[in-house]
Structures are given as structure tokens and as C-alpha cells.
Structure 1
Amino acid sequence: MTKTREPDIDAARCTGCGRCVAACPYRLITLEVAGFRKYAVVTKRGGCDGCLACLSACPVRAIT
């Protein structure tokens, strides 16, 4: 059994555009608010199948 690595989101680089949220077919990513800034976070651990849709959708390469 191989474990799929989940996306790692760099909150400092993330612009909060929400493209990764829309791209994730399993809805594992949501936007959080801190002060006047939004950023993406992985909220549901363990459901990622490694499709890389979020990675491709990020315009600022905040996801690895």
C-alpha cells in the first residue's frame, strides 16, 4: 500500500484566490481568514489521491 502525499500550501505565498479550492475534486482545501487576508489550507487530511489539480490551478505556485 502506497501513501499519497497531500498538498503542502505555503500560506505566506498564497493569495487566497480560491482556484485550488475550486479545482480539488474532493473538497479537501478551504480558505481561512486571518486579519484582512485569506489563504488556503488543507482541512481534510487523508482524502487526497494525488491528482495534482490544486497544484496546477495555483497561479502563484504556493502549493507543492
Structure 2
Amino acid sequence: MKADHRFYKEHGLYDFPQKKRGTALKMYLVGSLMSSPKLRAKMGNKINEGMIAPYKKVLEQH
């Protein structure tokens, strides 16, 4: 995710500004936590499942 963020930021591909400081701080906190190999190993595949969960709900409704 960090590499994606860096790429999008360098190439100006973000289509929205993050102006809410609280939300931005939360995202930096999550990013720093996810940079820990121990924490990532502990979380396993749950991160990916959490990211696609909203899309699964939409697909199941149709």
C-alpha cells in the first residue's frame, strides 16, 4: 500500500484531497502499524478480506 500511495502521489493521480486531519492521522497510524512485519503476519489475510467486504455485500445484493 505504501508503494501505491507513493506512486499515486508522485504522479498526481489522487482524485480527492484528504482535508480531514483526523482521518489523515488515522490513515498514517494504520500505515505505520502495517509496516510492522510481526503485525502483518499476525493479521494474515484478514486485511484483504476487510478491504473487499463492502464489495462482496454489493455483489451479493445483485
Same fold (TM over 0.5): no
Larger radius of gyration: 2
Name the structure where helix makes up a greater proportion of residues.
2
TM-score band, normalised by the shorter chain?
Answer: under 0.3
Give the alignment's TM-score, normalised by structure 1. 0.24
Name the structure where strand makes up a greater proportion of residues.
1
